Amino acid sequence: MKVLPINLSLKSITGLAQVLKFILVLYVLAFCLKLKKGAVISSVLVVENGYSELSAFWIEKGVAIVLLLSLIGIFFKVTYKLSIWIITAFIVGYALLSYFNGGKAFLELSLISAVSKWWLPLLTSIAINAYYDHKDSLNRGFLFGIQLSIFLIFMSHGIGCFLKNALYIDYIIGFVGDYTPFSIKQYQAEQLLNIIGIIDVIVAVLVLLKPSKSLLYWLIFWGFLTSLLRIVDAGIFNYTEFLIRAPHFGLPIAMLIIWNEKIKAKDYSSSPSLSKS
């Protein structure tokens, strides 16, 4: 793997911490909203463990409140570490619970996508810590963590395309039907999905092996577009599905911040006149 510089200016560290905090807030907020409406925790408690619906909902709401408090906690120096651990425990537990509860297509892919965010709180914590400690560099593992997350997100998305995820097919058919004068058949949508799948898998591999600025711009654009499609298609009330995908474009933004520093550092070292100035 290409060795990447991880010396960062304080401005970049600050930017990284802010971006990661923002992504984490949107991501966890989506869970809070899901929990408020009734989600997998209450379903498992009621259906599989015989809890009364009232107590299951209160447990779920209680979890939502703890999560919200944890979200607030990441903005304070004394509480951010505890908050990060609580959030991590939640997102890991929730992903596993959703997986074992079943009731969804492509459970394995959903799990991979969920796992890709398991270390997002940890990355956020490292960035916050670097910001508080005025550090000017980050460990390579930090960058690798971001790359791995992006890889898993786009890889699971690409595999979902190859497996002809019905929701993706309907997004394409719906989008073309609603926003263009054309209509598209299922087999055509599936052909398009194959192309999208190939692109997703290629960019997923490239982000690990040969990242570049243009690749990151593509990831931001595509991650945002596919997230936005959730509300473009099903309306603004489907916003939790958009929020929960904030890392799909947020993590490439975080990586871009690091990448810009790399370009700067490269320009600086390869331009003697610039280094003298």
Partner 1 sequence: MKIRTNFLIAISCLLILSACKKEQPAQSINKDIQVMHPRVIWTEKPQEHAIISWTSTHLGEGNYVLFDTIPNLTGNTHLKANSSKDGKIFIRNMDYAEGIPEAFYHHTELNDLMPATTYYFKFCTDNSCSETYNFITAPDKDQPYAIISGGDSRLGGEKPRFAGRTPSIERQQMNRMIAKLTEEDPSIIAFAHGGDYCTTADWRHLYYWFEDHTLTITKDNRILPLIITRGNHEHEIGFLENFWLGDITNEYSDGYFFMTQITPSSALITLNTETSMAGDQLEFLEETLEKHRVKNNWMFVQYHKPAYPAVKDFDREDFYHVRKYWVPLFEKYKISLALESDGHALKKTMPILNGKVDPDGIIYIGEGGLGVPQRKPFPDRWFFGKESIVDSKHHLWKITVTDSLANVTAFGIEQDTLHTFSLTPKPFLVESTAN
Residue ranges binding partner 1 (CB under 8 A) = 37-38, 44, 46-50, 53, 100-108, 111-112, 115, 118-119, 122, 126, 139-142, 144-145, 148, 152, 166-167, 169-170, 173-174, 177, 185-186, 189, 230, 233-235, 237-238, 241
The rounded distance, in Å, linking the Cα atoms of 34 and 154 is: 23
The rounded distance, in Å, linking the Cα atoms of 124 and 62 is: 24
Nearer Cβ to partner 1 (167/263): 167
Task: Compute the least distance from the CB of residue 183 to partner 1, in Å.
Answer: 10
* φ, ψ at 7 (rounded to 5°): -80, 130
Task: Compute the least distance from the CB of residue 46 to partner 1, in Å.
Answer: 5
Nearer Cβ to partner 1 (28/123): 123
Which residue carries 């010396």 as its tokens? 7
Task: Compute the least distance from the CB of residue 271 to partner 1, in Å.
Answer: 31
Side chain identity at residue 221, one-letter code? F
Nearer Cβ to partner 1 (206/218): 206
Task: Compute the least distance from the CB of residue 160 to partner 1, in Å.
Answer: 13
Measured over the CA atoms of residue 119, residue 120, residue 126 and residue 132, the dihedral's sign is negative
Nearer Cβ to partner 1 (77/104): 104
* Segment holding 118, helix H or strand E: none
Nearer Cβ to partner 1 (108/136): 108
The rounded distance, in Å, linking the Cα atoms of 153 and 110 is: 10
Task: Compute the least distance from the CB of residue 79 to partner 1, in Å.
Answer: 21
Task: Compute the least distance from the CB of residue 25 to partner 1, in Å.
Answer: 22
Beta carbons of 240 and 30 less than 8 angstroms apart: yes
* C-alpha distance from residue 86 to each of 46, 70, 182 (Å): 24, 7, 48
Side chain identity at residue 261, one-letter code? E
Beta carbons of 213 and 259 less than 8 angstroms apart: yes
Nearer Cβ to partner 1 (172/246): 172
